[in-house]
Amino acid sequence: MPVKYREIKRCGGLAVSEIALGCEGFIGRTREEFKKMLDRAMELGINFIDMYTPNPEFRDNLGAAMAGRRDKLVLQGHICAVWEDGQYLRTRDIKKAKEAFEDQLKRLGTDYLDIGMIHYVDGERDFQEVFQGEIIRYCKELKAEGKIRAIGLSSHNPVIARKAVESGLIDVLMFSVNAAYDMQPASEDCNDLFDPAAYQNGFVGMNPDRKALYELCDRENVAIDVMKVFGGGDMLNAELSPFGVAFNEYQCIEYCLTRPGVVSVMAGCHSENEIEKAVSYYEASREEKDYSMILSRMDKFQFRGNCMYCGHCAPCSVGINVAEVNKYLNLCLAQKEVPETVADHYRLLAHHAGECIACGRCEKNCPFGVEIIQKMKKAAEVFGH
């Protein structure tokens, strides 16, 4: 089953694979091992890689592995991640940031990155420093010179990420997404996301800041690529998962790919087997990918009535993609208007809400008790068909 692609709309519709590569699994590999992993990923159709690490050996190895096929890869490099005294360091020192960027191009053997990602902005003061200072100016210069094609920002904080998107300067957002983090309020300290205490009172539904962020990105065509899809592995382990139930890899990937705005999931693969496992998502059955039952069985979950875009209600008697219709409807209701881009996406659907015959088949399948017939009526009213 081939890998599928989604577009980074604010980067000329650049097509990126839905399953993409994080870089951590490549660190510490020999040059030969590195190339074999990259070869296998590319054979399977993966064309997108995040390079948060400033590790010079990683950069050299990637440069060697991709020699002669730079144009087949979409490279996401980080600005403000530097290598000092043999270690990674996040900095806002413009001189160090510039040197690290040039070092990155040189070691990779390329004269541009597709995405220049401003590295890790979670705090308000840091946000002000980046967006009112030299870092954002530098990114704009790099974009104007064609040394980066798009400006990105990586964050774990939905409030800060939202401000960045609202600035209009960000084309891509790298954000930590999984079902557990999505329940957590915004914090300037990303360690809160990993803290078991944050989950001890159970879950009370999706955090509104996160929901609003994803919808905003979708509306503004800011592409989200996902980090922490498996919550650092915790989501896959019943003992460690905040849900007390292990998700499988397919459920984690499916959850992310069904959030509005998401184009890619950066899977942290450490071997060719793990790359193959991630891509086998496309061969997994609907049941294997279905995360909705885990969420809907949570005692303290308050999702009733809210569409989670899980697609569990399919098939519709007349072929309406209920999850997509609900997504576009929610984007409009949040905005209190019908943005042109959303109307356009809705128009392109094969079947529209106005075709609903109110048979109720979908409602029997929805684990979250969404009143789908009402939603279809509302969508038909809002979009006019």
> Which window, 61-69, 95-103, 283-291, 353-361, contacts ligand SF4 (CB under 6 A)?
353-361
Q: Kindly state whether residue 148 participates in binding ligand SF4, applying the rule CB under 6 A.
A: no
CA-based R_g, the chain, Å: 21
- Residue 230 CA, distance from chain mean position: 12
- As a whole number of angstroms, the distance between CA 142 and CA 150 comes to 9
The one among 67, 204, 318, 334 contacting ligand SF4 by CB under 6 A: 318
Of 107 and 210, CB closest to ligand SF4: 210
Which residue from 252, 316, 332, 342 is in contact with ligand SF4, where contact means CB under 6 A? 316
327 and 277 in contact (C-beta within 8 Å)? no
Report, in Å, the least distance between residue 217 CB and ligand SF4: 19
C-alpha neighbours within 13 Å on the C-beta side of residue 10: 23
C-alpha distances (whole Å) from 256 to each of 110, 114, 274, 327, 358 are 31, 22, 18, 14, 30
Q: Least separation, in Å, of the C-beta of 381 and ligand SF4?
A: 15
Given the complex with ligand SF4, which of 19 and 372 has the nearer CB atom? 372
Among 82, 164, 323, 342, binds ligand SF4 (CB under 6 A): 323
- Any contact of residue 160 with ligand SF4 (CB under 6 A)? no
In order of 153, 222, 244, 346, 370, the CA distances from 12 in angstroms are: 18, 12, 42, 21, 36
Residue 317 as a binder of ligand SF4 (CB under 6 A): the answer is yes
Stretch that binds ligand SF4, among 12-20, 73-81, 260-268, 309-317 (CB under 6 A): 309-317
- Is position 360 an interface residue for ligand SF4 (rule: CB under 6 A)? yes
Q: Which two tokens stand for residue 46?
A: 């993966």
Contact 151, 139 (CB under 8 A): yes
Interface residues with ligand SF4 (CB under 6 A)? 292, 307-313, 316-318, 320, 322-323, 326, 356-362, 366, 368, 370, 372-373, 376
